Structure 1
Amino acid sequence: MDAQTGTCRCGAVTLTVTQPPFMTTACHCTGCRKMSSSAFSLTAMVPQDALEVEGETVRGGIGAPPLDHRFCPRCLTWLFTRIEGQEFVNIRPTMFDVPEWSRPYMETMTAEKLPWAQTPAEHAFPGFPDPDAYPALIAGFAARG
């Protein structure tokens, strides 16, 4: 994969991803809905070392550990989230010109989803998947191409 570059709405922060996502998700939790101002948030998961950030970011959202939500200080676009203890970062895929990164493979926190909210996700979980489920989910996502 060639490196992909995306920006916040105002262009003050540039994100470059050097590896493709290993999973895409839609999260229906109340917190993500409020931060995205939508029915769910979209995420593409990439290894931490695959993300390069150019420009200043600020912490936002509730952002209590273990979550580190990063935003552009100028336009306040939600850029990405790091989770303490994880080796991946959740990027907001709509900032990139790669439409398939925005198609969720799984959806999480469906116990909190709005009754009319629908996604094309192939897997759904009322909370977060059990950690033991991730290897099969990642392999399924990779096999999908």
Structure 2
Amino acid sequence: MIQASDSAEGGCRCGRVRFRVVGPPLFTAACHCRGCQRMTGSAFSVSGGYPVEKFALIAGDTVIGGLHGATRHHFCSHCMSWLFTRPEGIDAFVNVRTTLLDVPPGEPPFLETCTAELLPWAQTGATHSFESYPPPDAFGPLVAEFTARRTGG
């Protein structure tokens, strides 16, 4: 069970589903893909990758939405807010919609993905940009850089 110390909570629009994250994310990101544009009704989705053991639902249940494939997009069954994603083939982290935190982050996302599909006016201020998704071997150095920037190291 996740403890409440050094944690943040968030939830869906109607409040029926609540979640908790403990500690900082491994990274923050904006995704410009057409799928995220369609699921958010906006120019991009904003998220934070949290270690799976640092994330917990604390109230309510979710349903799968979006494409019903190997990547699982979790939504509130009542208000249909898109809460988090469990990416296909990646069991180490949960991709949480950080705008749903009770206190959303004030800084820009660290990286942005799928910039080949970005709307030309949608600027995020991200430090790193990728035309598609970063290759798997890029995540270790990206996480290390994000952590160093966050901790001043």
TM-score, normalising length: structure 2 = 0.89
Q: CA deviation at 1:96?
A: 1.1
1:27 maps to 2:36: no
1:64 to 1:28, Cα distance in 2 relative to 1, 3 A: same
Q: Report the counterpart of residue 74 of structure 1 in structure 2.
A: 78
What secondary structure is seen at the aligned counterpart in 2 of 1:39? coil
Cα distance in 1 for residues equivalent to 2:68 and 2:120: 27
Structure 2: unaligned runs, 5 residues or longer: none
Q: 2:48 aligns with which of 44, 48, 57?
A: 44
Within 5 Å, which residues of 2 pair with 1:92-107?
Answer: 92-100=97-105, 103-107=108-112
Shift >2 Å, 4+ stretches: 97-103
Contact 2:19 2:55 in 1 (8 A): yes
- Aligned-residue Cα RMSD (Å) equals 1.4
Corresponding residue SS for 2:105: helix
Task: Classify the secondary structure of the residue corresponding to 1:100.
Answer: coil
Cα offset for 1:36? 0.8
Structure 1 residue ranges without an equivalent (≥5): none
Q: Is the 8 A contact 1:24 1:101 kept in 2?
A: no
Equivalent residue pairs, number: 144
